[in-house]
Structure 1
Amino acid sequence: MAGLYFEDFEPGNVYRHEVTRTVTLADSIQFACLCMETEPTYIDEDWAKRNGRHGRIEVYPYYALAIVMAVQVTELTQGTTLGNLAMGGITFPHPVFPGDSLRGQTTILGKTVSKSKADRGVVEFFHEGFNQEGKLIASCMRKGMMLRRHPRV
C-alpha cells in the first residue's frame, strides 16, 4: 500500500495502526548491542533479576520506540516520505518487557506547505505506542517532509 500524500493529512486525524509486534528478548538485546548500549537493565538478564527496578530484564526503550515509529509506515508514509526533519518530546512512561505486544497510533498535529519547493510539505506527527494492556509505553513528535500529490505551480 502506498503512503499518504501531504494533502491527505489533516490536523486532528488519528490513525490506530493495525500492525502489532510481540517483542522478543533476543531482538531487544541485539538492537541494544547494535546501538552500543551497555546498561545491564537491557542486556543482562541475571543482573536485571538481582538489581533491576522491576526485578527482570526490560526491553531497550529505543527498540520499542523504533517499532512504534515503524508500524505506521505501511499505512501512512511508505513511498511518500522524503525524509525525517526532527524528532522530540520523547517519553517512555511505562517499561516494556519481553513478550509484550506493541501497537502504535499516530495523530496529525499540523502541516505546512514548503515555501521553496512546490512538490513537498512538512507534516507534524505525534506517535504513541501501547502494550497489550493499553498502557502507553512510548511517545514522540516527528516532523516529516512529505510529497504533495498536486504541487502548486
Structure 2
Amino acid sequence: MRYFEDLAVGETASFGRYEVTREEVLDFARRYDPQPFHLSDEGAAATHFGRLAASGWHSCAMAMAMLVEQMKATPTASLGAGGVDELRWLKPVHPGDTLRCQTELIDKRASASKPDVGFMRQRLTMFNQRDEPVMSFIANALIRRRASGEGTAPAA
C-alpha cells in the first residue's frame, strides 16, 4: 500500500490498454450524450469529426476504468477525489482506437486540519495507438497519511 509519504512529486506511471468498440461508443452516446456525431457515421460525416467519435465524457469514463485497474495493481491509500481541473479533449477518440494512460504527480501537500489526510494533484494524459494525446486533466485526490510512528514503505 502506498501512502502520501511514499509519493514523490515528478513521479510518473504509464498503464492501461483500452480497446474502443463501436457498440460501446453508440451505447454510451444513446444513454448520455445523444449528439449526431456520437450516434451515426452520417451524423459524424457532417462535422469536423468525419466519422463516428466517442463522447468526451465517454473518454473520461474509459480513462477512469484504466485508472481503477492501475489502483488495483498498485494499491494506494486513496480517500477519493476532490475534482478535476483543466479537462481537455485534444483529439477525437474513434471506434478501433486503443488507449493508454500516463500520470505525473505534479503537487502534494498535507492537510492543515486533518493529520491523516494528504492532497495530491496528478496530471493524467490519455494516448491513442499512435501515441497522440487525446485527453488530459488534472485530478485532485485525497490520500491517507501514515499514522505517526508507522514506518515508510521499502524502496522499490
The reply on whether 1:123 has 2:127 as its aligned counterpart is no
User: Is 2:37–2:49's contact at 8 Å kept on the other side of the alignment?
Assistant: no
- The residue correspondences of 1:53-92 to structure 2 (distance < 5 A) are 53-76=48-71, 78=75, 80-92=77-89
| Structure 1 residues 5 and 29, CA gap change in structure 2 (3 angstroms) | farther
1:40 corresponding residue in structure 2: 36
TM-score, with length taken from structure 1: 0.86
2:152 corresponding residue in structure 1: none
Return 5+ residue gaps in structure 2 as ranges: 150-156
User: Is 1:59–1:97's contact at 8 Å kept on the other side of the alignment?
Assistant: yes
Matched residue type, 1:64 = S
Could you list the runs of 4 or more consecutive aligned residues of structure 1 that deviate by over 6 angstroms after TM superposition? none
TM-score, with length taken from structure 2: 0.84
- The residue correspondences of 1:96-135 to structure 2 (distance < 5 A) are 96-135=93-132
| Structure 1 residues 123 and 56, CA gap change in structure 2 (3 angstroms) | same
Matched residue type, 2:12 = V
How many residue pairs align between the two structures? 147
User: Is 1:29–1:60's contact at 8 Å kept on the other side of the alignment?
Assistant: no
Matched residue type, 1:75 = Q
Equivalent-residue separation in structure 2 for 1:66 and 1:12 (angstroms): 25
| Structure 1 residues 32 and 81, CA gap change in structure 2 (3 angstroms) | farther
Equivalent-residue separation in structure 2 for 1:140 and 1:119 (angstroms): 26
1:78 Cα deviation from its structure 2 partner: 4.9
Equivalent-residue separation in structure 2 for 1:40 and 1:123 (angstroms): 38
Equivalent-residue separation in structure 1 for 2:107 and 2:68 (angstroms): 18
Deviations 1:50-80 (A, max 9, x none): x121321111122122222331233347562
